[in-house]
Structure 1
Amino acid sequence: MALFTSSDGAAADVSVRPAVPGDEDAVTRVQVAAWRTVQALGDAVVDLVDTAAVRSRWAEAVSAPPGPGFAVLVALDGPDIVGFAAVAPGQILALEVDPGHRRGGHGSRLLSAAVDRLRSDGAQEVVTWVLQGDGGRERFLGEAGLGPDGTERALAVGMDDDGVRSVVERRWSALL
């Protein structure tokens, strides 16, 4: 846990901890809010998200991970969850910060904690996926030492007037 002083002189408690049952509401809120900022998805796709199903999946991921090496971490600003990361063996499956709390170090703390977790589980490499056109995430990961490794995949994200709409993700990786 770290204690920082804000510009107004007030102490702000910021930290990362493992998610616990009950955190799924905040994790779902952060994820949906973050998805709304991704141009490649668009509000129409995010509007179709079944938040109850997402919340249920996060609850299961927190309370009954599918196996060793899976974990959900949350970033706190005081008592409030403002971001999360989900890891699997060798992978960062998700890392999101509430748009209103970006540029406050939460993403860096989450990434550091996720990498620490991967290392403690024996990983020698970390991989994650970035939506094409997400320049902010590319800059963030690049500054942290990850880079694109040439692998791409297309994901169907919904229907538009011409049929199935897809987005391209690029894999980023780094040795640990």
Structure 2
Amino acid sequence: MADVGVRPARREDAPAVAATQIRAWKAGYRDLLPEAALAQMTGPAAEELWRRQWEEAVVTPPTPRHRLLVAVEAEDVLDQVAGGPGGGRVVGLASHGPAEDPDVEPGTTAELLTLLVDPDHIRRGHGSRLLNATVDHLREDGFTTVVTWAFAEDSATLGFLESAGWGPDEVERVLDMERPIRMIRLATDIA
């Protein structure tokens, strides 16, 4: 098994982060979202937009409490050496920051904005490592609760989060993507 880990994202990770996001969305959302909407979110122009946004998230995050973490697998012996030049191949990402929903307290409630793993690297513990590292950072920053949004029909994500102690908090929203797409908010106590 390859050496694996989680680390803060670097500016040079932005293309790999965007590519991982696109691959994860194409695989994970193909049965959840309308084809045209998913194609628009994952096409070449969108990938370039995501790359720029992820680079900005690393270089100039909105606040010091916003972070982007990446799951990595060592590609070769140099990557396995501490401080190796490659730092590993990005195979997953998690981003978080203070929650912005109007019904939560942003000083103590954080939001898991993104948690994605490349479809070729699922079921290897990357999602759990990303989630645990995220919670560690959030606790250090003084957060006591974390929320996240998931598609109501995304049984894989819901099952993963529920197995980690998250649960629906009864708040929902509906996206208009050629047809109504229901999302639910999940929450967990990390105090």
Within the alignment, does 1:168 sit opposite 2:182 as a pair? Answer: yes
Shift of 1:167: 1.6
Partner of 1:47: 39
Unaligned 5+ residue runs, structure 1?
1-5, 7-11
Equivalent positions of 1:70-89 (< 5 A) are: 70-78=66-74, 79-89=88-98
Distance 1:166 1:83 in 2: 28
Tell whether 2:6 aligns with 1:16: yes
CA distance in 2, matches of 1:45, 1:34: 15
Structure 1 residue 155: deviation in Å?
2.0
Q: Secondary structure at the residue paired with 2:131?
A: helix
Deviation track 1:54-88 (CA, whole Å, cap 9, x = no partner) reads 11111100110001210000000112100000010
Runs of 4+ in 1 over 4 A off after TM superposition: none
**Which has more strand, going by share of residues?**
1
Aligned residues: 160
Q: Which runs of 5+ in 2 are unaligned?
A: 75-87, 99-109
By how many angstroms is 1:45 displaced? 1.8
2:164 equivalent in structure 1: 144
TM-score, scaled relative to structure 2: 0.80
- Over the aligned positions, Cα root-mean-square deviation in angstroms equals 1.2
Amino acid paired to 2:189: L
Change (3 A) 1:170 1:108: same
2:147 is aligned with 1:127? yes
Match of 2:105 in 1: none
Post-superposition shift, 1:15? 0.3
Query: How does the TM-score come out when normalised to structure 1?
Result: 0.87
Amino acid at match of 2:13: D
Q: Normalized per residue, which structure has more helix?
A: 2
Partners of 1:128 and 1:83 lie apart in 2 by 17
